[in-house]
Amino acid sequence: MKTYEKAPAKINLMLDVLHKRPDGYHEVEMVMTMVDLADRLEMVELPRDTIIISSQVGYIPLDEKNLAFQAARLIKDRYDVKRGVHIHLDKKIPVAAGLAGGSSDAAATLRGLNRLWGLNIPMIELQELGAELGSDVPFCVTGGTALATGRGEVLHSICNPPQCWVVLAKPPINVSTQEVYTRLRSDQISKHPSAADMIAAIQSGSFQEVCEQLGNVLEDVTLKLHPEVQQLKEAMMRLGADGTLMSGSGPTVFGLVSKESKVPRIYNGLRGFCREVYAVRLLT
């Protein structure tokens, strides 16, 4: 018995941090959607009670540190499953990029094992399991477009933004999400993007308005630490993107582009100084 799952990358169309909570997490407001850049997971049932993770890439952990491993162990423990699984991760999403690759793999594992083992766990319960693995996992379980509040796990589904091209570029630097949040002074944020205005822009179906409402308060921190991320944003705009933003805590920058004819110039221009560039569609 085997099954396959696609684990798409997410982007934040807006990300605001309201304040730091007594439990140490930050209270956030994010509008998230998915793009057609995805890892592919193959899950093969094993007769013995074990979890094996493999991947074609050598730079992610394949042990209990892997989020797909953690998702498989959680579902096995919670539903008392005595069977095992071999999960192969065909990684396409850049790692530690602000695109929630690991979270999406975890979510795909929950969906896939629910099917493989015939557990019939309702979506809402899969999301609750996901919240135990990471703040972005519940959103990745269902995908689509959503407003996420709380620490990111409280979801309100909204309609998809108008279809467009998304050019993603990941500079060759490592950004620690934890460091970015630690450096952020939520009481000193100069301009908070508005979730309500982004949702209104999406609901109006106006691509231009969506571009105008893009905003991410974590840019203040990451762009200061890594000026090349700012340069990448400027290059994207110069090359013709209609709007740009850093996703999550970075360092990936994405540009939204309405006209397909503009995409090759932006893609090729960025490839000149950035190795990891992708041109994909929104997953609508």
Which residue numbers are catalytic?
A: 10, 136
- What are φ and ψ of residue 184, in 5° steps? -70, 125
**Sole window of 23-31, 75-83, 93-101, 228-236 interacting with ligand ATP (rule: CB under 6 A):** 93-101
| d(C-alpha 152, C-alpha 149), whole Å | 5
Find, among 240, 238, 233, the residue nearest to 262 by Cα: 240
- Note whether 1 and 116 are within 8 A (CB): yes
Which range in 26-34, 88-96, 204-212, 234-242 contacts ligand ATP by CB under 6 A? 88-96
Q: What is the DSSP string of 245-271?
A: EE-TTSS-EEEEES-GGGHHHHHHHHH
Query: Whose CA is closest to 198, among 184, 209, 187?
Result: 209
Site string for ligand ATP, 177-196 (x = CB under 6 A): x-------------------
Q: C-beta of 204: minimal distance to ligand ATP in Å?
A: 28
172 strand-pairing partners: none
Check binding of 136 to ligand ATP (CB under 6 A). yes
x/- track of binding to ligand ATP for residues 100-129 (CB under 6 A): xxxx-x------------------------
Token pair, residue 254, equals 């994405």
Among 28, 35, 66, 107, binds ligand ATP (CB under 6 A): 66
Q: Kindly tell me which of 177 and 194 has the beta carbon lying closer to ligand ATP.
A: 177
* Minimum CB distance to ligand ATP smaller for 100 or for 126: 100
**Which of 30, 31, 37, 67 forms a contact with ligand ATP (CB under 6 A)?**
67
| Token couple for 199 | 């949702």
Cis-peptide into 122, omega within 30 deg: no
**Pairing mode of beta strands 26-46, 84-90:** antiparallel
Task: Name the nearest CA neighbour of 133 among 102, 157, 95.
Answer: 102
- Candidates 23-31, 58-66, 121-129, 276-284: pick the segment binding ligand ATP (CB under 6 A): 58-66
Q: Cβ-closest residue to ligand ATP?
A: 102
Nearer to ligand ATP, 135 or 201 (CB): 135
CA–CA gap between residue 183 and residue 194 (Å, rounded): 22
Residue identified by tokens 């993770």 is: 53
The nearer residue to ligand ATP, 70 or 201, going by C-beta atoms, is 70
Least Å distance, CB 99 to ligand ATP, is 5
**For ligand ATP, the closer CB: 149 or 177:** 177
DSSP string, 24-62: SPEEEEEEEEEEEEEEEEEEEEESSS-EEEEES-SSS--
Of 65, 185, 259, 265, the residue at the interface with ligand ATP (CB under 6 A) is 65
Q: Stretches 24-32, 64-72, 115-123, 164-172: which one binds ligand ATP (CB under 6 A)?
A: 64-72
**C-beta of residue 50 within 8 angstroms of C-beta of residue 123:** no
Residue whose CB is less far from ligand ATP, 53 or 210? 53
Using CB under 6 A as the binding rule, whether residue 33 contacts ligand ATP is answered as: no
Q: Could you list the residues that contact ligand ATP (CB under 6 A)?
A: 60-61, 65-68, 89, 95-103, 105, 136, 177, 248
